[in-house]
Chain A
Amino acid sequence: MPVTDVLIDGRARDVVLAVRDLRVAFSGVRGPVEALRGVSLHVRRGEKVALVGESGSGKSTIARLVLGLLQDQGVRIAGSVRLGSREIVDDESLVRAARGDRVTMIFQDAVSSLNPTFTIGDQFREVLRRRDPKISKSHADRRARAALADVHLHEPDRVLSSYVFQLSGGMSQRVMISLALANDPELLVADEPGSSLDVTVQAQTLRLMNDLIGRHGTSVLFISHNLGVVREFADRVYVIYRGRIVEHATVAQLFAGARHPYTRALLAAMPRLDEPAVPDAPETRPDFNDPLIEHPGCFEPNFVAA
């Protein structure tokens, strides 16, 4: 019997992405490897939510599922991933229709995620056709020029006729941001954006992205290993350790008083700009696996079957 889920939380209709008790296992040489062991998280409209963890924590697995890039790949998936009102955990076709239009992604390395064989202008037209298949070339180019101006690329015609190898890393990152936001998506998944760039360029890129997202009202799932970047960019944060969320807080709460042993270890290991000392190097401890700590006001919205 098909069951329609209804959210009972008053603000629940604002939930753009809801992941519930998500379990993912890849097949490994010695049997299945659990990448996610029951992850729940959500993003509300206009919110910037960060998912922080080290390599191997499962943070990029979540991004790939939300983009529909893991379904039908022989990966064991259980739980729920909802994009708006659509359940996409077991049906890649639903997210395929939305990908590039209502949900988009920016990657760590812009240079290798843009197609090297098409000009930037070609790639803009393809993206804009996802939303409006009949858009004329001149209209698409006009939209593209405006989008490039939004990311402070001041020679849009030169950029549109360029291939990615003709642009610098910082310019490519800006092009990717403007492509990702061209169709005004409901949700932007940003996987370590700018982390392959120089710090000064990264800082500018994040400022730009922040500004644009604010103007478009885009919701963002921001995936990063860098707590410093999260502190500057996000509203709310989930810390993930070995496939489990261990701490959920607003950014203000987390940086004023992280409570989970793992989060505290991560913070202690950050080199300090204001202190001439080698950072602490906490050993991996059993209490890194302590249960989830939710800070006041941070909880998952309730779902009930109608």
Chain B
Amino acid sequence: MTEPLLTVEGVSKRFRSAAGQDVHALSDVSIDVKPGECHAIIGESGSGKSTLAGLILGLFEPATGLIRFKGAVVSGRRRPLALKRAIQLIQQNPRSALNSRRTVGQSVRLPLDVHGIGKRSLRNERVAELLREVDLPPDYANRTPRALSGGERQRVAIARALACEPQLLVLDEPTSALDVLVQARVLQLLTRIRRERGLAYLFITHDLAVVHGIAERVSVLEKGELVETGPTREIFDSPRTAYTRRLLGSIPVVTEEEARFRDRFRTSAEPDGEDAGA
């Protein structure tokens, strides 16, 4: 049994809403990510999946519970630089994730300077290597994000994260803003990088079809609670909760075989009330 890289133990988080009410964003959630593993977190809006990402990245402290990285308890805010370096984030929108005033090269080089990675004189060469690793021509270093497509920007964001030589990538809907052909290319890239670098991924998404070929394990969040967790194959073959079945049954598909697979999860009595949309 491999020791987990990341452990989230019984974590809860509340936020105060504008109306002054407490909103339970996460209630007693426990998950872990093993070295080299891809663990997908599935949830719709309001499920708490981005709150979970924020807690793992140390953006805020959990109300209860704790987070361990390689066995050691880590706090939210006061994190050593080495820990920040080990856990990197890829966001949904690569447009806002990159500083539009910096060139691609400056963005990818910044973490090398911050963390003092490699000799100063070799860092521009390192930037070129990183761009090649994400299938971008090294001369993209001189461009600004404005001149790039959405898929290219996401590749730059991935290169910048890899510059830190992280052990865990937190990917928050990394392809849901991309066109389908671009999404497929980025998914292939992420798969190759994980294999080559032995990285662990926490892959957050609302799209179950996307995780099927990517993740070894899947956890399903509903309204801040972990409702189901297990190996990907088990979740897809025999989901245990009505919520997971409803998610699987809602996905628009393109082939007859998929429709048959999907329709197993459709129930005759689909709730169409406004509660479902509220």
Interface residues of A (CB under 8 A from B): 54-55, 152-155, 168-171, 173-174, 198-205, 207-208, 225-229, 231-232, 255, 265-282, 284
Contact = CB atoms under 8 A, between A and B. Distances in A.
A20 B246 CA distance: 42
A26 B54 CA distance: 42
B12 to A, nearest CB: 23
B268 to A, nearest CB: 13
B258 A273 contact: yes
Contacts, number: 144
Contact of B253 (A55, A228, A281): A228
A142 to B, nearest CB: 20
B181 interface: yes
B237 to A, nearest CB: 10
A217 B248 CA distance: 31
Given A200-B247, A204-B276, 16 more contacts: A173-B277, A201-B44, A225-B180, A227-B254, A228-B251, A269-B181, A271-B207, A272-B209, A272-B212, A272-B258, A273-B248, A274-B257, A274-B262, A278-B191, A278-B213, A281-B188
B140 interface: no
B255 interface: yes
Nearest to A229: B252
B213 A271 contact: yes
Nearest to A271: B209
Given A169-B45, A208-B272, A273 B253 contact: yes
Nearest to A272: B258
Contacts of B184: 268-269, 271, 278-282
B270 A204 contact: yes
- Name the residue in A199, A204, A255, A284 with the highest tally of chain B Cβ atoms < 10 Å from its Cβ: A199
B277 A278 contact: no
Contacts of A232: 252
Contacts of B260: 274
A227 B188 CA distance: 20
Given A231-B253, A266-B180, A280-B184, A273 B209 contact: yes
A232 B45 CA distance: 23
Interface in B231-264: 232-233, 236, 246-258, 260-262
